Amino acid sequence: MSESFWSTLKSEFYDRYRWPSRMEAKRKVAWWIGDFYNRHRLHSSLRMVPPVEFEQLLHGQHELVEECGAEFTLTA
């Protein structure tokens, strides 16, 4: 899974720009991961939703299941 992440980072973002400095590259990569990759990019392994949204849906589903007193399971 991590190999896929690094490949995506390089092909979709890092290799598309020329970086004036190493510090600028680090800043932009941190932005890309924190803002775009986790909040906006659709992930096929998460049913085509961003990770942050998936976690929110999962957390909400978990709370609903706890309220009902049922056992919580995530199905693919």
Looking at the structure, tell me whether residues 48 and 32 fall in a common domain. Answer: no
31-38 long-range contacts, Cβ below 8 Å, gap at least 24? 33/9, 37/8, 37/9
Whether 49 and 18 map to the same domain: the answer is: no
- Give the other-Cβ count within 10 Å of 68's Cβ: 9
Task: Write down the pTM of the prediction.
Answer: 0.53
- Domain span holding position 18: 1-41
Are 61 and 74 within one domain?
yes
Helix ranges restricted to H, the chain: 2-12, 22-31, 38-39, 51-68
Same domain assignment for residues 34 and 1: yes
71 vs 22, higher pLDDT = 22
pLDDT at 75: 56
| Same domain membership, residue 28 and residue 1 | yes
What does the pLDDT look like over 19-61, one tens digit per residue? 899 999 999 999 888 887 777 777 777 778 888 888 888 877 6
Are 31 and 6 in a shared domain? yes
Q: Are 7 and 20 found together in one domain?
A: yes
CB 32 within 8 A of CB 13: yes
